[in-house]
Structure 1
Amino acid sequence: MYSQITRRQALGGLAAGATGLLQLPQALAQGSWPSKPLRLVVPFAPGGSSEIVARALAGEMAKSIGHNVFVDNKPGAAGNIAMQEVANSADEHTLILGHIGTLAVNPFIFPKLPYDPIKDFTPITLISKVPSLYVVHPDLPVKNLKEFVAYAKARPGQLNYGSAGNGSAGHLAFEYLKMVSDTFMLHVPYRGTGPMLTDLMAGRLQAASVGAPALLQFIKAGKLRCIATGTAARLPQLPDVPTVAEQGYKGFEMTQWYGLMAPSKLAKPHIDKLEQEAVKAARGKAVSDKLSQETALAVGNTSAEFARFIQQEQARWKPVIARAQIKPEGA
């Protein structure tokens, strides 16, 4: 025996069925992100540490996230052009490599930024730190940082240090050292690390701070002397060189760093998935080994930890930039 179904009940059932059919593709779509390759924008020219870090992470993430992750270099205006583009992106598949410059330095150098590093982006994970080294020409009669500071204080304004340009990581690193050591040395900006190192090794400059990957070969060849590392702990590649902190400046740390960022408008489930995949990749042996070859340190912290780190770095660099009156190129 069967019960009779009213017309209203039948129509209601059809409507419910139709709603379910409509909801099914939507649910599938929400669950299948990413639905196409992810674009990881690098706001600098190819060939530097930024590209090495980005490609190491992208290659590992692609193995487990279900789609390719391709690196897209987009240099210009100290990273501001790329940051603005990604902040305004709405395709849900565009990410960016965050950097000490774009996230912790540019806000205090440029009078007005086309993006807000806190409001427009969500931190995913801190991928890597690249150690900064403090080096001098080997003819300078100093063996360590303590002797260098004493030598500089006895000759205020007589020593020159070089950097890759105004507002560069090397510029910031040396101004930070000048601030904590209360020394006065003249800054000579160059257009890139290469020509600056040429002059340093020729003796036209006395000192500089540069990322470890570009310096190790010259240190080992005796063309430069490393007097300190900017890392929190000594580097395995330079076990006999103490850190700045070890030599009397507690809490001092100077590293270039790179992290994965997403536009803040990206849906929370996508952010969570990115964090899970990026942290797993950054902590994995493949990425760690690749970065270690470049004297870079793999990190892979949580989104919340990375957000706190960015705030700490902004607090670190704001007074350094103000004291040194650092301006962008052409300003």
Structure 2
Amino acid sequence: MKKIIFSFWLVANLLFASNLMAQDYPTKPIKVLVGYAPGGAVDLVARALGQSLSASLSQSIVIENKPGAGTNIAVKQLIDSPPDGYTLMVAANALAANMSLYKPQPFDIDKDITPIAMIGRVPVVIATSAEGKYQKLSDLIKAAKANPDLITYGTPGNGGAPHMAMKFFEQSSGISLKQIPYKGGAPAITDLIGGQLDLVAVNMLEIAPHVKSGKLKIVAVMSAKRSPIFPEVPTVAESGYPGFEASVWYSLIAPAKTPASIVKTLHTQVEKALQSKEMTERLGSVGGEVSPGTIAQAASFLNSERRRYEKLVREANIQPD
């Protein structure tokens, strides 16, 4: 009987301590992990969000870059961290894809993480040099059908969101291209400008400055609708593939078992940030958009993306680097 009473007392005290911690949250700086090198798209989004959260939560937001293993190193650090709201992560498509890409499965988003909020989306684009052979999507498809696996395209890495987007496109259009994976979008863009590649598939955030300078041209955007900053560029969907959509998305996540009150606090502040001029302009300047919504919607989206990537990895036999 004493053991039962002690057990109830222990549970009650743990719950009380957890609730007290959540009520006071945050009382110290918050670390936000990024599974990519500094200066990349996810890093830029994380820093923009961090500035807003720092102001609204009255605490420092420390961005910690942990690149490697397709973001699995950063995810591992996240799920091994205490579920107290002081270690978070800005994740992208790899979070949903890596469960199928890597064997053994590196983590389980249903069991190991707590979704907090979706942040936004930026289109994946197919781009070529200003004098490239394939100025129109129809030209690319026609040439690829005549010469399978000869047309090259660079990506920021094997199994990354742009690579997956191109695989979705190849499936939809019935063509086969040759992927050249790089360690990030910047070196792929450099080689495209230098004439070593026919195309690149990258997110619009990375390509926009080069298009505006006249060095590169976007052949098609993979978002559901045209980009507001490049309205003359057609989408893949309107080019003969209705319903096609492939974007890079960003979400804020925490370790599993993070107290619901802390998750709610963070979600509320992220939603406020997404309404701010700074965040809407930051994503809007590169053709992206913020993605406000509920916690339940964020969880549902992550699971739907996991299932979509699982099917693609299986059917296209995609292997990680």
Q: Secondary structure at the match of 1:257?
A: strand
Q: Using the alignment, how far apart are the partners of 2:132 and 2:18 within structure 1?
A: 68
- Please, which of 55, 59, 64 is the counterpart of residue 56 of structure 2? 64
* Letter of the structure 1 residue corresponding to residue 258 of structure 2: L
CA contact (8 A) 2:34 2:64 kept: yes
Change (3 A) 1:60 1:207: same
Q: CA deviation at 1:153?
A: 1.0
Q: Secondary structure at the match of 1:228?
A: strand
Q: Does 1:190 align with 2:217?
A: no
* 1:322 counterpart residue number: 314
CA contact (8 A) 2:153 2:199 kept: yes
Q: Using the alignment, how far apart are the partners of 1:165 and 1:142 within structure 2?
A: 22
* 1:285 counterpart residue number: 277
Q: Secondary structure at the match of 1:237?
A: coil
CA contact (8 A) 2:36 2:67 kept: yes
CA contact (8 A) 2:35 2:66 kept: yes
Normalising by structure 1, we get a TM-score of 0.85
Q: Using the alignment, how far apart are the partners of 1:42 and 1:141 within structure 2?
A: 36
* 2:203 counterpart residue number: 211
Q: CA deviation at 1:239?
A: 0.6
Q: Using the alignment, how far apart are the partners of 1:99 and 1:87 within structure 2?
A: 16
Structure 1 stretch displaced more, 110-119 or 251-260: 110-119
Structure 1 stretch displaced more, 185-194 or 306-315: 185-194
In the TM superposition, 1:130-279 aligns within 5 A as 130-279=122-271
* 1:4 counterpart residue number: none
In the TM superposition, 1:84-99 aligns within 5 A as 84-90=76-82, 92=84, 93-99=86-92
Unaligned 5+ segments in structure 2 are 1-14
Q: Using the alignment, how far apart are the partners of 2:130 and 2:147 within structure 1?
A: 18
Q: CA deviation at 1:178?
A: 0.6
Q: Secondary structure at the match of 1:118?
A: helix
- Tell me the number of residue pairs that the alignment of Structure 1 and Structure 2 aligns: 306
* Letter of the structure 2 residue corresponding to residue 205 of structure 1: L
Deviation per CA, 1:144-194: give whole Å up to 9, x if none: 223321221122232122222221222222211111101022222233323
Change (3 A) 1:142 1:89: closer
Change (3 A) 1:176 1:24: closer
CA contact (8 A) 2:42 2:91 kept: no
- Taking only the aligned residue pairs, the percentage that are identical comes to 34
CA contact (8 A) 1:122 1:261 kept: yes
Change (3 A) 1:154 1:67: same
Q: CA deviation at 1:27?
A: 6.8
Deviation per CA, 1:190-226: give whole Å up to 9, x if none: 3332332233223332122111122123323443331
CA contact (8 A) 1:80 1:113 kept: no
Normalising by structure 2, we get a TM-score of 0.87
* Letter of the structure 1 residue corresponding to residue 158 of structure 2: N
* 2:69 counterpart residue number: 77
* 1:6 counterpart residue number: none
Change (3 A) 1:89 1:28: closer
Q: CA deviation at 1:24?
A: 10
Q: Secondary structure at the match of 1:236?
A: coil
In the TM superposition, 1:15-26 aligns within 5 A as none
CA contact (8 A) 1:40 1:96 kept: yes
Q: Using the alignment, how far apart are the partners of 1:184 and 1:228 within structure 2?
A: 17
